[in-house]
Structures are given as structure tokens and as C-alpha cells.
Amino acid sequence: MAGKIAMIEKRDNMATSDEVQGFQAVAQYLGQQIQALSKDRQQKDRVKQYGDALGKLMNQVKGLAQRGAKKSQQQNGHDPMVEAKVEALMQTTAAKVHAKQLTDQQKLKQKDIAFVKEQRRKDAGTFADIQREKEQSKSRIDSFKE
């Protein structure tokens, strides 16, 4: 995706509506892959890094789309339908990416909380086992003394 954006920037720094739609489809797919990766608690840093990178790429796409829409307006006159379509696509994509990032962050927080609670439960169980062993050992020692 970054390579294609770079090619368009070198070409004329403007994207067609088809290219913008293609970038949005790729961004949606990448967002799904990032979301799948976010299920692994150990990948927290990678998920953030990938989400940030995707956000930056989509900002570049937005700029390409705006310049492409502006060129289209100049060539074809003022076409509000094209403008509205491009703007709606950009807003939808931005909202989806943002919502996904928030959802991913929330899921990671919930997983972290669940992990901490589980560790505390296990620690409490281990502590109780140790106390039981201690009491049993003490009882055995006391029985030998008598």
C-alpha cells in the first residue's frame, strides 16, 4: 500500500476515485488483520505500531483523494456528486479506522485486566496451598514431639 501511494505521489500526486476505493478496501483488510493480531497480548506494541502506520497511510490517501477531486472539479467543472462521494468515503474510512483502534485498545485493556485478575486468583490459591502445607507440617512436627 505504501509503495502504491509513493507511485501515485511520483506520478501526479493525485488519486482517482477508483484508487481511493482500492486503498480503502486494502485499509479495511489490514484493519481486520491488525484486529486479529490484537488478540495476542504479547503483540500489543506491534498492534499499536501497525495501527499508527495505517492511520498515516490513510492520511496520505486522504490528501491524494482531495487533490484528485480538486483536479476533477477543474477539468469537469463543479461536480458535487463526485465531491460528496469522495468525502463520504474518506469520512467512512477514517471513522472505521478510528473506531477499530478504539475497540482494539479497549479489548487489550480488558484482556490485561482479566490477566491480572487471573494471576491474583492463582497467587491466592498458591498462598492457600502453602499455608495448608505449613499447617500440615506443623501438625506432623507436633505429633512427633509428643
- Predicted local confidence at residue 81, as pLDDT: 67
Q: What is the mean pLDDT of residues 52-64?
A: 90
The answer, yes or no, to whether residue 102 has pLDDT greater than 70, is yes
Per-domain residue ranges of the chain:
2-103
The CA-atom distances, in angstroms, between 47 and each of 83, 101, 105, 108 are 33, 9, 9, 10
Q: Give tens-digit pLDDT for 19-42.
A: 888 998 999 999 899 888 888 888
130 in helix, strand or coil?
helix
Alpha-carbon Rg of the chain, whole angstroms?
A: 28
Report the C-alpha gap between 67 and 82 in whole angstroms.
13
CB atoms inside a 10 Å sphere around CB 8: 20
CB of 31 closer than 8 Å to CB of 100: yes
Question: Does the structure show a pLDDT above 80 at 107?
Answer: yes
> Is the model's pLDDT at 118 over the cut of 80?
yes
pTM: 0.52
